[in-house]
Amino acid sequence: MGRMVDGVWRDEWYVPDDEGRFRRPETQFRGTIRADGTGPHPAAAGRYHLYVSRACPWAHRTLITRALRGLTDVISTTCVDPHMGEQGWPFSASDPDPLHPGAAHLHEVYRATQHDYTGRVTVPVLWDREQKTIVNNESREIMRMMDVELEGFANGTASLAPEALRTEIDEILDAIYEPINNGVYRAGFATKQAAYESAVGELFGALDRWEGVLAKQRYLTGDTLTEADVALFTTLLRFDVVY
């Protein structure tokens, strides 16, 4: 896992803080698709492209949302190779980048958007074909855009973020993010014992909490499948086999 500095790729790992704790930097592209057609990224079929890795839980949640909402013919995808090398996420021969011919790695897509970009090169990435730029690389926001802003093109299951439950869904997404979704990284990438023990304690405490909730009801908000369930599932699915 490297990063770019002023548009130049560097093979650099995450730098922990002084206590040995893993620090996840904020994603930087936070544009929004809008159903009302305002802004630079109006809702449209065939306009947006999603870069993902099937190895990544953050990308996996957007793939699940895309599939459940029936948007597979609305948003195209490219899956990078699951093995991350010295140049970060590579494109595979079986699934080359159709929008940047000759591109070998995902960091070239980031550079195409911002030639002097400084930051991590992560998936998922939502790309606007017409504007020729990254719209957003924050998985939670991409999920919501696909569910709400592209509602007019959806032909799958019911909304994963129904308006009546949206406040509760957001609260649960906030509650599971730090101890669970990010917690597995905080534990796995800790460089000091105290940081590790703190992350592990919070992780298993949160798992116990939500196991208690799910012992009483089918889904995190009750009887409705939502984004919160998808976000928890992609981490839990990898828990034994990866983390």
56 is catalytic: yes
Q: Is 164 exposed, middle or buried (0-12, 13-18, 19+ CB in 10 A)?
A: exposed
Cα–Cα distance, 158 to 233 (Å, whole number): 18
Please tell me the distance from the alpha carbon of residue 174 to that of residue 190, in angstroms, as a whole number. 22
The total number of residues shown for the chain amounts to 243
DSSP letters of 141-172?
Answer: HHHHIIIIITGGG--SSSPSS-GGGHHHHHHH
CA distances from 93 to 84, 97, 107, 160 (A): 15, 9, 17, 34
Q: Name the β-bridge partners of 9.
A: 4
The verdict on whether 79 is a catalytic residue reads: no
CA-closest candidate to residue 199, choices 16, 11, 42, 3: 16
d(CA 239, CA 18): 27
Q: Which of the residues 14, 48, 51, 56 is marked catalytic?
A: 56
One-character DSSP codes across 7-58: TEEE--PPPP-TT----PPPP--B---BTT--SSSB--TTSEEEEE-TT-HH
Active-site pick, 14, 117, 177, 185: 185
Active site residues: 56, 185
